[in-house]
Amino acid sequence: MLKGKNVLLAVTGSIAAYKSSFLVREFIKKGCNVKVIVTESALQFVTTITLSTLSKNPVYKDFIKDTSTGEWNNHVELGEWADLFLIAPATAHTISNLVTGKADSFFLATFLSCKAPVFVAPAMDLDMFKNKSTQENINVLKERGLMIIDPDDGELASGLEGKGRLREPEDIVATINQYYLDKATLKNIKVLISAGPTHESIDPVRFIGNHSSGKMGFALAEAAQKRGAKVQLVCGPVNLISPDNVERIDVVSAMEMKKEIKKRFTETDVLIMSAAVADYQPLKKTTQKIKKKDAEIEIKLKKTPDILRDLAKIKKKQIVIGFALETENEKDNAYAKMKSKNLDAIILNSMKDKGAGFGHDTNKITLITPTEERNFELKSKSLVAEDILNFIEECI
């Protein structure tokens, strides 16, 4: 759930600040982009060099970046960059300032500018944490929508035992990950996606195929798992890295793809058939390489199985979506395909649209249902995937 998110970490003046370097590492391991703000007092416990090296980004502390040139750090821009803002460790003094809305430091000004979810991980001595004013301040932050990551019980810097110890970095990251998982809009929805081409063998070294890269299907798989879906990706021969938390099933031919999809279809909530399955396969595959001769040769072909039509016939609760890449009479052909295959929707690509179709990192689609058309501009395939999933959420 955290991969690709922009994490803004604020480190304040607590002995627990030493754990901030481990926090940065945990977020980086999850695939996050991390930027760090430190307060003046935090520098008594941790260095900017350590945090900058681990995060691979400069560390922010002051409004002024370079006094000789007047270059400044833009707190508003930084707040807008963040997908989530974590304050860890958060001292009693820090929590009090968050409540009062003080803006006398770069950190506090950035906090007031940030519209992303804010997580606060308190760290202080037992009596300070239990103090009525601290608890009231924490309750105010909760009422304002901030997420409080409660401290652990344990040995404290004073030598006392009790609640106030900063949660371990792994626990903090796991808590934030769970927050996003709980809010995931496709949580526990089973999504089955096909991607890429199929290769239909002529002989041991040659095949019939097409130019599909599989990028659209992989973008859909990544976007769906980020929304909490349980994703299975059946893909033909492609040179792509599997998205995290996606079960990948590699196949070669149309028959293999049909077998793997059919095996999973009855347990699926949504089928998105973005694969470009070859329409024909050789009637007979030779066991040896066909040698080049002077005379021309003919290869007889037969139709490959129509995976989408066969599965849509037996659908019950499933949402079934197909793709249509057309070169002429685009909408007529797409509507005919949708009707003949009993689809809930079809995604139309036109080869006439520059930047759409096979091989590109972009796509331009028209989403067609039996009752409406939705036209989208040319955009990255990852954003196209979001448009398609938004439609699926409406259907669900």
Average pLDDT score, the chain: 93
Pick the CATH number of 190-282+298-395 from 3.40.50.1100, 3.40.190.10, 3.30.70.260, 3.40.50.10300: 3.40.50.10300
Parts of the chain belonging to CATH 3.40.50.10300: 190-282+298-395
Share of the chain above pLDDT 70, in %: 100
| Residue 351 DSSP label | T
Measured in Å, how far apart are the chain's first and last C-alpha atoms? 21
Catalytic residue status for 74: no
Q: What is the pLDDT of residues 115-152, one digit of tens each?
A: 999 999 999 999 999 999 999 999 999 999 999 999 99
Of 33, 74, 131, 210, the active-site residue reads 210
Cis peptide before 305 (omega within 30 of 0): no
pLDDT at residue 29, rounded to an integer: 94
Q: How far apart are CA 222 and CA 365, in angstroms?
A: 19
Q: What is the pLDDT of residues 46-103, one digit of tens each?
A: 999 999 999 999 999 988 877 778 788 889 899 999 999 999 999 999 999 999 999 9
Parts of the chain belonging to CATH 3.40.50.1950: 6-182
Q: How far apart are CA 132 and CA 272, in angstroms?
A: 54
Whether residue 359 is predicted with pLDDT greater than 80 in this model: the reply is no
In this prediction the pTM is: 0.71
Measured CA distances, 176 to 28, 34, 120, 339 (Å): 14, 14, 11, 44
Tell me if 325 sits within 8 A of 351, measured CB to CB. yes
Structure tokens, 81? 């960059």
Share of the chain above pLDDT 90, in %: 79
3-state helix, strand, coil in the chain (%, to 5): 35, 25, 40
CATH superfamily of 6-182: Flavin prenyltransferase-like (3.40.50.1950)
